[in-house]
């Protein structure tokens, strides 16, 4: 009996260690497309607020908190989007998204569409004046019943094929009396510069904020449930050292071939080339290892790396992926 228990413990520990060694699936999330609800959002906020970006930032917050995925930081994504002149009209396009995903070296990219954003007010006059606000009754002295509805869909896209691996949706509703869609927040002071922090407690206490929160929470649960459908990409990167100094090296390959910070590469020097006697073409290169480097920063065409082991590196030495 004791041996059986010990064996079970060993199996459980081994399983835990195995899962602990598995790397998280890396994803990037494009700002959700909000074209179909743009007029609704403008009516609610009285200005053109990018609700797609606000909802995406909130989704990132929930996914990072959950920990199932490794989510690419906003700065890295924005840099690639700027370099590629990415248009807002491409936000929900799986093929365009897949291209961005390749440049980022992620396992998948998430795109989404906001399908409903706004609500309806029922106004029963009980005396008093009170002006309306964008047709939605901001304040006033009437007896109002406000209902907010927010809906959205998301797709997890394979960056190699553009195939949709999984889908998720979210819908949130909130309803109160005697307030507007932006009412109800005890400390709500509006917004400035056309932007709203959808993750702030002040906003989430409003009717529309409650609906947003419920919808994104439901959506994030669906995105998390789709994680098993993703495969961690194993990309073999090969290139050369383009620059060497005492502070590190520069590689002649970058994010276009899937390289990312943290990747380790073996540095190898060609010792002999074997040629096809019939054509003279090189058919095999014999190499010896010089050392190992770890990528510290990446752009589309190159990468900086620090030396992990070895010495005597030279421009032209070959590099090959060790870990990704």
CATH code for position 180: 3.40.50.10610
108 and 156: one domain? yes
294 and 163: one domain? no
- Per-residue pLDDT, 219: 97
pLDDT band at residue 120 under the 50/70/90 scheme = low
Q: 145 in a domain, yes or no? A: yes
pLDDT in tens, 69-92: 999 888 888 888 888 888 777 888
* Window from 5-14, 187-196, 223-232, 282-291 with minimum mean pLDDT: 5-14
* Window from 153-157, 177-181, 317-321 with minimum mean pLDDT: 177-181
203 and 303: one domain? no
* Window from 64-68, 96-100, 183-187, 272-276 with minimum mean pLDDT: 183-187
- Per-residue pLDDT, 26: 87
Residue 277, Cβ density class (10 Å: 0-12 exposed, 13-18 middle, ≥19 buried): exposed
Residue 147, Cβ density class (10 Å: 0-12 exposed, 13-18 middle, ≥19 buried): middle
pLDDT in tens, 273-313: 999 999 999 999 898 999 999 999 998 889 999 999 999 99
DSSP run (H or E) holding 176: strand 164-177
More confident residue, 87 or 228: 228
Q: Which residue, 233, 310, 305, is CA-closest to 268?
A: 310
Task: For the chain, give the mean pLDDT.
Answer: 81
Query: Domain of 157?
Result: 24-229
Q: 254 in a domain, yes or no? A: yes
Contact assessment for residue 132 and residue 118, using Cβ atoms and an 8 Å cutoff: no
CA–CA gap between residue 252 and residue 239 (Å, rounded): 6
Q: 222 in a domain, yes or no? A: yes
Whether the pLDDT of residue 147 is over 50: the answer is: yes
Q: 7 in a domain, yes or no? A: no
155 and 295: one domain? no
Contact assessment for residue 324 and residue 266, using Cβ atoms and an 8 Å cutoff: no
- Per-residue pLDDT, 13: 41
225 and 249: one domain? no
Pick the last residue of a domain from 196, 229, 262: 229
Q: E strands within 187-314?
A: 238-245, 248-251, 264-275, 282-298, 303-310
Contact assessment for residue 105 and residue 255, using Cβ atoms and an 8 Å cutoff: yes
Into how many domains does the chain fold? 2
255 and 190: one domain? no
- Mean pLDDT across the stretch 226-233? 87
Pick the last residue of a domain from 229, 248, 273: 229
- Per-residue pLDDT, 144: 63
- Per-residue pLDDT, 145: 73
64 and 146: one domain? yes
* Window from 55-59, 91-95, 216-220 with minimum mean pLDDT: 91-95
Question: DSSP label at 161?
Answer: T
* Window from 43-57, 139-153, 186-200, 252-266 with minimum mean pLDDT: 186-200
More confident residue, 63 or 199: 63
pTM score of the predicted model: 0.65
Q: Which residue, 110, 36, 39, is CA-closest to 69?
A: 110
Percent of the chain with pLDDT over 70: 78
Q: 8 in a domain, yes or no? A: no
- 304's tokens: 């900086």
215 and 268: one domain? no
Whether the pLDDT of residue 2 is over 70: the answer is: no
Return all residues near 12 (Cβ < 8 A) that are at least 6 apart. Answer: none
Return all residues near 18 (Cβ < 8 A) that are at least 6 apart. Answer: none
pLDDT band at residue 139 under the 50/70/90 scheme = very low
202 and 129: one domain? yes
- Mean pLDDT across the stretch 117-140? 48
Percent of the chain with pLDDT over 90: 44
pLDDT band at residue 61 under the 50/70/90 scheme = very high
188 and 263: one domain? no
217 and 88: one domain? yes
268 and 126: one domain? no
CATH code for position 309: 2.40.10.410
Contact assessment for residue 251 and residue 260, using Cβ atoms and an 8 Å cutoff: no
- Per-residue pLDDT, 252: 95
Pick the last residue of a domain from 229, 251, 283: 229
More confident residue, 262 or 168: 168
């Amino acid at each position: 009996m004791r041996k059986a228990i010990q064996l079970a413990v060993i199996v459980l520990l081994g399983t835990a260690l195995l899962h602990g060694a598995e790397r998280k699936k890396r994803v990037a999330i494009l700002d959700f497309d909000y074209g179909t609800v743009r007029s609704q959002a403008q009516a609610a906020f009285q200005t053109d607020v990018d609700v797609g970006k606000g909802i995406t930032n909130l989704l990132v917050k929930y996914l990072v908190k959950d920990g199932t995925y490794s989510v690419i930081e906003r700065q890295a994504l924005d840099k690639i989007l700027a370099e590629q002149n990415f248009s807002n009209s491409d936000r929900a396009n799986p093929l365009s998204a897949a291209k961005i995903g390749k440049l980022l070296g992620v396992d998948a990219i998430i795109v989404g569409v906001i399908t409903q954003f706004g609500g309806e007010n029922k106004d029963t006059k009980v005396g008093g004046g009170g002006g309306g606000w964008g047709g939605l009754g901001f304040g006033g002295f009437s007896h109002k019943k406000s209902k907010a509805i927010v809906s959205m869909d998301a797709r997890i896209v394979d960056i190699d094929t553009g195939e949709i691996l999984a889908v998720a949706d979210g819908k949130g509703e909130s309803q109160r009396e005697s307030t507007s869609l932006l009412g109800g927040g005890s400390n709500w002071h509006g917004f400035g510069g056309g932007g709203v922090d959808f993750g702030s407690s002040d906003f989430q206490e409003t009717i529309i904020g409650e609906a947003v929160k419920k919808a994104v929470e439901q959506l994030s649960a669906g995105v998390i449930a789709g994680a098993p459908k993703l495969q961690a990409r194993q990309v073999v990167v090969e290139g050369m050292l383009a620059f060497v100094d005492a502070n590190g090296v520069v590689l002649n390959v970058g994010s276009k071939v899937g390289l990312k910070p943290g990747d380790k590469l073996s540095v190898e020097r060609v010792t002999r080339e074997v040629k096809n006697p019939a054509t003279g073409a090189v058919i095999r290169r014999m190499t010896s290892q010089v050392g190992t480097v770890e990528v510290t920063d990446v752009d589309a065409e190159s990468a900086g790396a620090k030396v992990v082991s070895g010495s005597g590196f030279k421009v032209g030495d070959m590099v090959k992926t060790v870990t990704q």
